[in-house]
Amino acid sequence: MVARALVIASLLAGCNKSARTACAPGTPSKVELRDGSGQLTLAVKPAPEPGQFDLCDGAGKRIGRIESEPQAVSYFDGAGVLQLKVHGESKTDADGVSAKGAKLRIHVNGEETRVLKPDGIPIGSVVTKDAGATIYDPASRPTALVEKRYADYTIRGPDGVTKSYVVPSASAGAAAAFGLDGLPPEERATLYLFWNK
């Protein structure tokens, strides 16, 4: 009888554990990326381990994790392979590496933050001003505006149409990371957390 009760208790514990996944819809997010119609496309949710976050897609599936350290933020894909580790080298410069080697560089010059490939070719840049930001493509053409909306930020195209929402965000500069078209969304989330330090 006791053995049967222990088996039932362990089965129930297993069910409760699987029912409470990090990517479940009710689990609060550190930040979410939503498309122009408000549909969830990516969520960054705190993991049980301190300094770690689960990356969840719009369907609530875990697609990777992010680890935050005092001077670095790292993104690992669903297989646990390092895709991007951004490490601050100084107040104005940071580098990004993957399991395959150098991946990007970041340089801050006043209000402008430039994201570059290892060889110096631009990926894009962000210029912050007042409570907003402008995102530029590799040819220095403006591609989006970041504007405050309550506790969130919107990313709008040059035509004024909302491309996405960053929910919530403490700064326009960090929210602008999600508007850098030259990087996958998971790597943009990594930059968001790095810039939000």
| Residue range 169-182, pLDDT digits in tens | 989 999 999 999 99
Higher pLDDT, 4 or 42: 42
Predicted pLDDT at 26: 84
Q: What is the DSSP letter of 62?
A: E
pLDDT classification of 157: cutoffs 50, 70, 90: very high
CATH code for the part of the protein at 31-195: 2.40.160
- For the chain, percent of residues with pLDDT exceeding 70: 89
pLDDT value at 14 more than 90: no
Indicate yes or no: pTM above 0.75.
yes
Tell me the β-bridge partners of 34: 40, 165
> Is residue 146 a contact partner of residue 135, using CB atoms and an 8 Å limit?
yes
pLDDT value at 2 more than 90: no
Alpha carbon of 152 to those of 96, 104, 168, 181, 185: distances in Å?
A: 27, 27, 4, 20, 18
CA dist., res. 140 & res. 124, Å (int) = 7
**In terms of residues, how long is the chain?**
197
Q: What is the DSSP letter of 1?
A: -
pLDDT classification of 114: cutoffs 50, 70, 90: very high
Average pLDDT over residues 100-118: 97
| Residue range 133-147, pLDDT digits in tens | 999 999 999 999 999
pLDDT classification of 110: cutoffs 50, 70, 90: very high
DSSP string, 104-150: EEEEEETTEEEEE-TTS-EEEEEEEETTEEEEE-TTS-EEEEEEEET
